[in-house]
Structure 1
Amino acid sequence: MKNIIYIISVLSLFGCAKEEAIPVIVDFDVEVFNNDFSIPVQVVFFNKTEGGEEYEWTFKGGTPSRSVNRNPGVIQYNQKGAYTIELTATNEDGSRDTKTLEIQIDDPVIVDFEITNLVDNFSPASYRFQNNSSGADTFLWTFEGGIPEISTEQNPGEVIFTESGNHTITLQVSNGRETYEQQKIITVAPFLVSDFDFEVAFDDDDFQIPAHVHFKNRSVSATSYEWRFEGASSFMSTEENPEVIFVQEGVQTIHLTVSNGKETKTISKQIEFFKNTNLRELKDVRFGINTAHITNSIGAFYSTADRKIYAKNEITSDIEKRIDLPFFGLSDTFTRNRFVSPDALSGTTFDELTDPKKTIFINSQELCGCSAYLTVTEFDSMVDDTLLESLTIQETPGGLQDFDDTLAPRIVLFKTQDGKKGAIKIKSFIRDGQQSYILTDIKIQKGSR
């Protein structure tokens, strides 16, 4: 009886309860990839709806444009515009809710600009800037070192740069949500400087006229040149690096005026030229004995054209043709010494030369039996080639004789194949074993008369 009463009571309780419907509350979040609203734009939607069981998404202008999934995945927008996103959710209780959201899709923001140099890049340098950007509506230009230094115009006017060097140009563009920038560098040339160096030709390095001088332009930011020369065969030149022959003695002035179309500057320098003595003096020339020459420590073959002594390992087929003064010193005792014609090396321990020159030597003036004779005093006092020109230098058996070290200083006369006369003053005999040598001064005509 008690059980029957309990069942009736329970049934009465449930019969009195009222069922309530579950409400649908729609909500969702939106996330734009990389926060980039410039097409193409990819958007992800996160459904936060409560109470929903079925969903209807519509994406106007999107791909795809519809979805019935709770979370529809990635939606892509490929055209600029304002688009509505709508989510409707329902459940089996008949509850329904909708939420809409508008999203703004922008054109892509592209930043780009061109630079035009109006005249040239010499200070003051003027430039114009062409804005090729797109998708932006605000602009900020920064011109490092420029006048003006900042502009917010889409295409700024002329900008002037007065300081030389590199200047960074920055363009920053924005569409209100995204900002991009680009930088480029312009180089303003240094201020105009007028300057030059000069180099005298090898054979004219004593500055005796006529002297060939090559001028090396060291000017900065110059586009035109005007040279003026005193005492030269040419009075003026517009070449960048002219070569000029000076024909007058004394201090001569060289003027260089340069311009770049904006500035003009002039510099002047002086060079002193001397009377032509037709005499070249070569000091402290060392001729090694044969062992020094062969072991390449001190050469024994001299070229008057090169003004250089050569050891065995330095002599090439080209150098062989320029050797004038070979010296043969038998040993460090200096008992047998002589200068030998390049074409007569067979009587020495030296290798013979290919296509050798012929040089006449008077090694022993005291044994020569000829009229040519030059004293040490006369050698030292020579300031031109007058004495040498007056000598008749001939080859004789006596003049070819060896000499020893009992007389120092002593004079050896010679005449080269091209007719130049000269004299060698042997100042001392230096004993240093296999590296022994004679120390000499040489005076030779620059050219035969």
Structure 2
Amino acid sequence: MKTILNYILSLLIGLSFFQSCASEESIAIEADFEITIQNNDYSVPVKVDIKNKTIGADTFNWTFDGATEPTSTQKNPKTVVYTEPGTYTIKLEASNKDGIKEEKTVEFKVDAAMKVDFEWIQEGSDTAPVKIQLKNLSKGVTKYLWEFENGTPSTSSIENPIVVFNQAGQHKIKLTIQNGREEYSVEKTIEVKNAMNVDFDWTVDFIDQDYETPVTLNLSNKTTQAISYEWYVNNSATPFSTVQHPTIVLTTIGLNTIKLVAKNDKESKVLEKQVEIKANKNLLTFEHIKLGINTAHSSLGSFFSSQLGQVINKEKVNGIDGALIDFAYFGLSSAFDYNEFLSPDQVQTKSFNAIKNAIHTKIINSQELVGTQLSVSQFDAIDNGSDFNRLTITESSRGKTAFDDKVSNRVVLFETADGRKGAVKIEGFINNGKESYIMTTIKVQKPKNK
């Protein structure tokens, strides 16, 4: 009996020991996980991948504070997305069948979305120097770095700096933004034009190439980057013109000073030039003038205009005012046995076409037949238009008689419809076949207004 009691007692003790051992062998939990920010981009939207490293758990409860999907019970939840900046926590509660629980929390910061951009406001025109006010349009920034190629200053760290570009050309403006973890840059170019340069010149018509008063100057303004102009002459206090390319008539003998004041929104510059005006001798002189015979009118030309200062051929005659033609030369052939000067309104009596708007010019071809008034030596001595005043040019059939080449240095007299007297000295008869011509020197009084 005692033996049986001992056996039962031993059995109870063993069962108690076994239950005690079973309770002590419950599985422990180690809650653990790590997060990875996709592309290491902490600016919204931020995407977070989670790797669960928990040991001994059967169930998982995730809490994603502030995420688009705030909870999950998956062992490895899908990517968690945050669309607003802030500081957030990801919390895991892990448990097993024995009712054992373990927690882990990870905190991290989501930055505002980053955007890099800027513009500027320009002060005045785009000519150097150019001053601009930068306007930052970036977002999510905690630090700025501006770089200005050839600018003053060359760099800046403030949000909206002011910079000046003194050199012409294209200059780069670069903005780099940071938020402590990320960095972005953008680059733009500003073009600066050259600073204002003041310059001018002038041209004169043929009739004024001797610069004898009065002289008409056609002023050519070569200034760049200006917006207004003031023209002055001979230190006058009042501008004679404010247009870009004016015309001026100078009547003062001696040095005349022309001043141009050019302005833009940045500066004002002045340039002065001088032109010498001579006393008016009322004389136009043309040397080495070739007048072609009848067959050379299409090439060399047979008509002459002192106001244009040129010989006019068949092709050009219809493109000018016929009233500007002083006379025509008709040479029958290269033998020069028949030559005469004609009034422009009578050229059609020979082999020429009539001249539109032609004037009448008095001609004396053969002075020897009506009494010589101007010898070769007297012609050569003429240096003033008043020297012609003593001549009386009266048309007659004898005076208009054609001539040959037997008389060297023949002088032919003429008087235009507007009363200007002149003379042609024939210095040579040049035989060149159909292109034959006479070589002449012509002197004539100027038009009344010149």
Distance in structure 1 (CA, Å) of the matches to 2:78 and 2:407: 111
Q: Does 2:145 align with 1:130?
A: no
Structure 1 counterpart of 2:200: 196
SS across alignment from 1:343: helix
In structure 2, the CA distance between the partners of 1:83 and 1:292, relative to structure 1 (3 Å rule), is: farther
Structure 2 counterpart of 1:252: 256
Tell me how far 1:208 sits from its aligned partner. 0.8
Q: Deviations over 1:221-250 (max 9, x none)?
A: 656655543399x97546255433222222
Which stretch of the first structure deviates more once superposed, 141-150 or 62-71? 62-71
In structure 2, the CA distance between the partners of 1:402 and 1:147, relative to structure 1 (3 Å rule), is: same
Distance in structure 2 (CA, Å) of the matches to 1:148 and 1:282: 65
Q: Does 2:108 align with 1:106?
A: no
Tell me how far 1:321 sits from its aligned partner. 4.9
Structure 2 counterpart of 1:328: 330
Tell me how far 1:313 sits from its aligned partner. 2.4
Distance in structure 2 (CA, Å) of the matches to 1:316 and 1:99: 105
Q: Does 2:399 align with 1:399?
A: yes
SS across alignment from 1:172: strand
Distance in structure 2 (CA, Å) of the matches to 1:314 and 1:230: 40
SS across alignment from 1:374: coil
Distance in structure 1 (CA, Å) of the matches to 2:76 and 2:434: 100
Distance in structure 2 (CA, Å) of the matches to 1:400 and 1:70: 128
Contact in 2 for aligned 1:36/1:178 (Cα 8 Å): no
Structure 1 counterpart of 2:276: 272
Distance in structure 2 (CA, Å) of the matches to 1:77 and 1:196: 68
Q: Deviations over 1:23-63 (max 9, x none)?
A: 99998986747x76655x48596989999999999977667
Q: Deviations over 1:141-196 (max 9, x none)?
A: 1223333221101122x434444554433322233413122323152642x65543
Tell me how far 1:379 sits from its aligned partner. 1.5
Q: Deviations over 1:194-239 (max 9, x none)?
A: 543233344322111122223334455656655543399x975462
Q: Which amino acid is 1:135 matched to?
A: G
Distance in structure 1 (CA, Å) of the matches to 2:77 and 2:342: 106
For structure 2, the 5+ residue unaligned runs are 1-26, 96-100
Contact in 2 for aligned 1:372/1:392 (Cα 8 Å): no
Q: Deviations over 1:71-124 (max 9, x none)?
A: 99988765445667799999xxxxx9999876736324131121332x666666
Contact in 1 for aligned 2:287/2:441 (Cα 8 Å): yes
Structure 2 counterpart of 1:430: 430
Structure 1 counterpart of 2:442: 442
Which stretch of the first structure deviates more once superposed, 108-117 or 97-106? 97-106
Distance in structure 1 (CA, Å) of the matches to 2:425 and 2:238: 42
Structure 2 counterpart of 1:10: none
In structure 2, the CA distance between the partners of 1:161 and 1:180, relative to structure 1 (3 Å rule), is: closer
Percent of residue pairs bearing the same amino acid type: 34
Tell me how far 1:258 sits from its aligned partner. 5.3
Tell me how far 1:442 sits from its aligned partner. 1.4
Aligned residue pairs, count: 417
Distance in structure 1 (CA, Å) of the matches to 2:50 and 2:217: 86
Distance in structure 2 (CA, Å) of the matches to 1:372 and 1:299: 29
> Given the two structures, how large is their TM-score scaled by the length of structure 1?
0.74
> Given the two structures, how large is their TM-score scaled by the length of structure 2?
0.74
Q: Deviations over 1:119-142 (max 9, x none)?
A: 666666544323232232211112
Structure 2 counterpart of 1:180: 185
Q: Which amino acid is 2:360 matched to?
A: K
Q: Does 2:158 align with 1:153?
A: yes
Which structure would you say has the larger Rg?
Answer: 2
SS across alignment from 2:345: coil
SS across alignment from 2:356: coil
Which residue of 322, 344, 347 maps to 1:345?
347
Distance in structure 1 (CA, Å) of the matches to 2:142 and 2:33: 34
Contact in 1 for aligned 2:50/2:79 (Cα 8 Å): no
Structure 2 counterpart of 1:230: 234
SS across alignment from 1:344: helix
Q: Deviations over 1:240-291 (max 9, x none)?
A: 5543322222233344455668766554433221111111112222112222
Which residue of 153, 173, 180 maps to 1:169?
173
Which residue of 366, 373, 377 maps to 2:368?
366
Structure 2 counterpart of 1:4: none
Contact in 2 for aligned 1:113/1:133 (Cα 8 Å): no
Contact in 2 for aligned 1:122/1:260 (Cα 8 Å): no
Distance in structure 2 (CA, Å) of the matches to 1:231 and 1:378: 43
Contact in 2 for aligned 1:213/1:243 (Cα 8 Å): yes
Q: Does 2:220 align with 1:213?
A: no
Q: Which amino acid is 2:209 matched to?
A: D
Structure 2 counterpart of 1:300: 302
Distance in structure 2 (CA, Å) of the matches to 1:283 and 1:113: 67
